[in-house]
């Protein structure tokens, strides 16, 4: 992959990658850091990336691996010396266009907030599968390849995540 192709990739997929980072971390600062780290790692691996393949999937996989490593390092450090929590529990931000919202729009936003909150409470392995499957429209086989686990494992995680979300959102939806 050339630098020009990487620039086009950032223009094309940058917003999707950032959105994935935002939902994965649940925190604006962490998402921005993860987003930057993802592109830095992609630049490091530039020569090994096949530009004819699925570059977006590759970048999402880089972001996922970096996040897993950060969480693993933090857990290890926390065991050695107690520290404060890694993530701030803040809600998702909504951008308004300045117009007064109707009752229906408010209800839709509230429902979305509750769904994203429930997704954010899922265990990391389940949350990642849900985000990749529904938010990034990736297939089960793509997710399995990216995560380095069998297809059956991804199907199982997707099933477990759906069941947990169904129980958490029973009264909402």
Note the pLDDT tens digit of each residue in 79-124. Answer: 665 544 444 344 433 444 445 556 777 777 777 788 888 888 888 8
Query: How many domains in the chain?
Result: 2
> Would 129 be classed as within a structural domain?
yes
pLDDT > 60? residue 54: yes
pTM of the model: 0.59
* Res 155: pLDDT: 93
> Would 164 be classed as within a structural domain?
yes
**What is the domain range of residue 69?**
1-84
Is 23 within 8 Å of 87 (Cβ atoms)? no
Whether 79 and 128 share a structural domain = no
């Amino acid at each position: 992959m050339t630098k020009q192709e990487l620039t086009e990739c950032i223009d094309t997929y940058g917003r999707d990658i950032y959105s994935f980072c935002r939902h994965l971390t649940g925190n604006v600062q962490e998402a921005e850091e993860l987003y930057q780290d993802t592109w830095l790692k992609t630049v490091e691996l530039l020569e090994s990336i096949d530009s004819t393949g699925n570059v977006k999937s590759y970048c999402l996989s880089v972001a996922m691996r970096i996040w897993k490593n950060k969480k693993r390092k933090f857990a290890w450090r926390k065991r050695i010396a107690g520290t404060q929590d890694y993530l701030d529990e803040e809600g998702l931000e909504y951008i308004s266009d300045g117009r007064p919202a109707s009752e229906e729009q408010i209800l839709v936003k509230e429902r979305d907030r509750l769904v994203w909150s429930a997704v954010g409470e899922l265990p990391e392995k389940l949350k990642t599968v849900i985000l990749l499957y529904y938010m990034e429209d990736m297939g089960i086989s793509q997710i399995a390849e990216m995560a380095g686990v069998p297809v059956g494992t991804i199907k199982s995680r997707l099933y477990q995540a759906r069941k947990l979300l169904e129980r958490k959102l029973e009264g909402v939806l």
